[in-house]
Each structure stands twice: as C-alpha cells, then as structure tokens.
C-alpha cells in the first residue's frame, strides 16, 4: 500500500523542534527543521554558534525523517559529518546542484531503503533549476520514496520551504505540489 508522508514547511520560522508522529505501525517520527542559512552574520546567531545544537537536536530526537530548510551545502556537510552515520541526505540547492539553500531530506538508512528521489522548483517552469516565477527567490521541493525495511511499506516524503513574502507564491506553490503529486507514479 502506498502511503504519502509530507513534511512541508509553509512559513519561515525559527526552530521547530517538536517532531510529529505519523499514525502507522510502527510509528514514523518526522522532524521539520529550519536551520537558518549559514551565512548570517548577526551577532549571537552565526552558524558556528548554532551548528552543534542543530546536530544535538537531531540526535536527541532521533527521527526517521528530517526535512531541513535553508541549509546551505556546507551546513549539510557538517550535519552529515557529525551526525549518527545511519542518516542519508538527499537534496540539492535551489539554484541547481550544490548552489543555494537546500530543502534536503535526511532519512534513517537503517530503517529505510531509498527507492527513488527527485526535486522540482516552485514556479511555472518546475523542471528548470533555479526558476522563480511567483516568488522573490527560487524555491525547491525535494521528494523521496522509501521502503520500510521491516514492514515493506513504501512512503513518499516531501520537503520544501514556501515564500515568506508572497501569499500568491504560497498559494501557487501548494497548487503546483498537488498537481505534481498526481504525476508521481506511486508503487
């Protein structure tokens, strides 16, 4: 049976550190985490001062899936290098490749096997890297399909970060996501 699991950050927020549990057997724990972009230079909030706390929070909560927002490539690298090695990261920058903020997904590779992964941009041209039609910045959605090693259930997990300045961009992004879901061929 195909199950859909969505971890979508709809607004810009500070740290949302309360994981939620999806009704399933066994329960699935999901964490959405806006780690804040790593080049901020405001006093007391630089990445160097936050990075250990980010890794510590993920380790303490030990979720099955983590949707990271605003993660730059070097932040993803730090998290992977310092986190329990059971996690695998999927995602790319919103400019394409390793450039720009990522809406990455971490998943527990001890519990789940990656079946497939993809991404698209929240714009009128969703397959063009870095495209932005409705928003001030390019916005990307990352999705993965995983297989639970124990139950053989398949899940689709999605992560994005909506515009914080435009209601129209948020509305059109949600509509695009719903339309694209229909084109993703479930197992």
* 112 touches 64 (CB < 8 A): yes
pLDDT for residue 11 is more than 70: no
pLDDT for residue 55 is more than 70: yes
Q: Considering Cα of 60, then 92, then 124, then 158, what sign does the dihedral take?
A: negative
Match domain 2-183 to its CATH number in 3.30.70.920, 2.10.109.10, 3.60.10.10, 3.40.190.10.
3.60.10.10
pLDDT in tens, 60-80: 999 999 999 999 999 999 999
pLDDT confidence tier of residue 18, bands split at 50, 70 and 90 = low
Phi, psi of 31 (to 5 degrees): -125, 130
pLDDT for residue 162 is more than 70: yes
The rounded distance, in Å, linking the Cα atoms of 35 and 164 is 15
pLDDT for residue 1 is more than 80: no
pLDDT of residue 41: 83
**Could you tell me what percent of the chain has a pLDDT over 70?**
86
Domain residue extents for the chain: 2-183
Q: What is the mean pLDDT of residues 73-100?
A: 94
Lowest mean pLDDT among 41-50, 97-106, 131-140: 41-50
pLDDT for residue 95 is more than 70: yes
- pTM here is 0.86
């Amino acid at each position: 049976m195909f199950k859909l699991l969505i971890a979508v950050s709809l607004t810009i927020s500070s740290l949302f550190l309360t994981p939620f549990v999806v009704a399933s057997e066994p329960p699935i724990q999901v964490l959405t985490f806006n780690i804040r972009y790593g080049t901020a230079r405001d006093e007391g909030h630089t990445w160097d001062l936050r990075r250990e706390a980010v890794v510590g929070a993920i380790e303490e909560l030990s979720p099955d899936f983590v949707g990271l927002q605003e993660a730059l490539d070097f932040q993803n690298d730090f998290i992977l290098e310092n986190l329990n090695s059971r996690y695998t990261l999927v995602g790319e920058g919103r400019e394409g490749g390793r450039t720009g903020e990522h809406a990455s997904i971490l998943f527990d590779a001890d519990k789940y096997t990656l079946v497939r992964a993809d991404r698209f941009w929240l714009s009128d041209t969703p397959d063009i890297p870095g495209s932005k039609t409705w928003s001030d910045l390019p916005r990307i959605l990352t999705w993965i399909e995983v297989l639970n090693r124990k139950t053989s259930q398949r899940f689709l997990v999605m992560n994005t970060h909506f515009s914080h300045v435009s209601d129209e961009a948020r509305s059109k992004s949600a509509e695009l996501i719903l339309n694209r879901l229909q084109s993703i061929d479930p197992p």
